[in-house]
């Protein structure tokens, strides 16, 4: 059987070495697909066609399977994130405490739907399934930082601070 040689790195961007590191650590085994996609997303912020192709070829996974995995799991994103991200938790405790109103206010303020980024690439408005900070509901994540018992005014203020940056 011919020895498998992984494809060359897509570019000399150092982040590909980190991606390759995850695959090497797992012996380029097919079951490392999700682990590797996590590494790509944490290094590049999202998954584009080139990165999915590269990972699929390196792990000898059919492209359809790699794309299937990417689109199956909510955590993976095919679009680049904005400079800032406002994530509104949609867990049960947050829903009971009015997260829907927060989401509606943010949608109105930014003029985009949840899951989208403003045209200038400034702010992404996202939805989290539950971040596990339910005791402080409603919760939003401002660039990943948890803020609890958030009011509409506080959230809008934060969005406005980001908008003028």
Partner 1 sequence: MTIEELEQLAKTIGQENDKYDFEVNVCMDLACVSQGADRLREALAKAAEACGKNVLVRRTGCMGPCSSGPLVRVDPEEILYHHVNAGHAEAIVSSLGGDPVPELQCDLNEHFDKQVRVVLENAGYIDPEKIDDYIVRDGYKALLTALTEMTPNGVIHRITESGLRGRGGGGYPTGLKWGTVAKAVGDLKYVVCNGDEGDPGAFMDRSVMEGDPHRVIEGMAIAAYAVGASKGFIYVRAEYPVAVARLTTALREARRRGLLGNGICNTPFNFDVEIRLGAGAFVCGEETALIASIEGRRGTPKPRPPYPAVSGLFGKPTLINNVETFANVAPIIRNGGKWFANMGSERSKGTKVFALTGKIANTGLVEVPMGIKLREIIEVIGGGVPAGHAFKAVQTGGPSGGCIPAEMLDVGVSYDALVRLGSIMGSGGMIVMDDTSCMVNVARFFVEFCMTESCGKCIPCRAGTAQMYTLLSRFCTGTGTMEDLDLLVGLCETIKDASLCGLGMTAPNPVLSTLKYFRDEYIEHIVHKRCPAGVCKMEAPVEVVA
69: contact with partner 1 by CB under 8 A: yes
| Among 5-13, 65-73, 108-116, 153-161, the segment contacting partner 1 (CB under 8 A) | 65-73
34: contact with partner 1 by CB under 8 A: yes
105: contact with partner 1 by CB under 8 A: no
92: contact with partner 1 by CB under 8 A: yes
Contact residue for partner 1 among 40, 90, 110, 125 (CB under 8 A): 90
Contact residue for partner 1 among 45, 48, 83, 95 (CB under 8 A): 95
Give the angle subtended at the CA of 154 by the CAs of 153 and 157, to the nearest 5°: 85
Cβ closer to partner 1: 110 or 137? 137
Q: Can you name the residues that pair with 140 across neighbouring β-strands?
A: 88, 147
Binding track, positions 125-154, relative to partner 1; x by CB under 8 A: ---xxxxxxxxxx-x-----xxxx------
d(CA 70, CA 32): 13
Report the nearest approach of partner 1 to the CB of residue 119 (Å): 26
Cβ closer to partner 1: 107 or 131? 131
Residues that bind partner 1 (CB under 8 A): 30-35, 37-38, 61, 65, 68-69, 72-76, 90-93, 95-97, 128-137, 139, 145-148
């Amino acid at each position: 059987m011919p020895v498998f040689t992984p494809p060359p790195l897509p570019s000399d961007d150092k982040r590909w070495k980190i991606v390759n590191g995850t695959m090497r650590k797992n012996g380029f085994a097919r079951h490392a697909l999700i682990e590797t996609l996590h590494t790509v997303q944490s290094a590049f912020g999202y998954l584009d066609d080139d990165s999915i192709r590269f990972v699929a070829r390196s792990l000898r996974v059919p492209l359809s399977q790699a794309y299937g995995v990417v689109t199956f799991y909510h955590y993976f994103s095919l679009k680049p994130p904005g400079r800032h991200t406002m994530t509104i938790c949609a867990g049960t405790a947050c829903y009971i405490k009015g997260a829907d109103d927060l989401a509606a206010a943010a949608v109105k303020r930014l003029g985009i739907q949840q899951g989208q980024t403003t045209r200038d690439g400034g702010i992404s408005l996202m939805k989290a399934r539950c971040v596990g900070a339910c005791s402080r509901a409603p919760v939003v994540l401002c660039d990943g930082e948890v803020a609890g018992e958030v009011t509409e005014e506080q959230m809008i203020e934060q969005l406005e601070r980001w908008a003028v940056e």
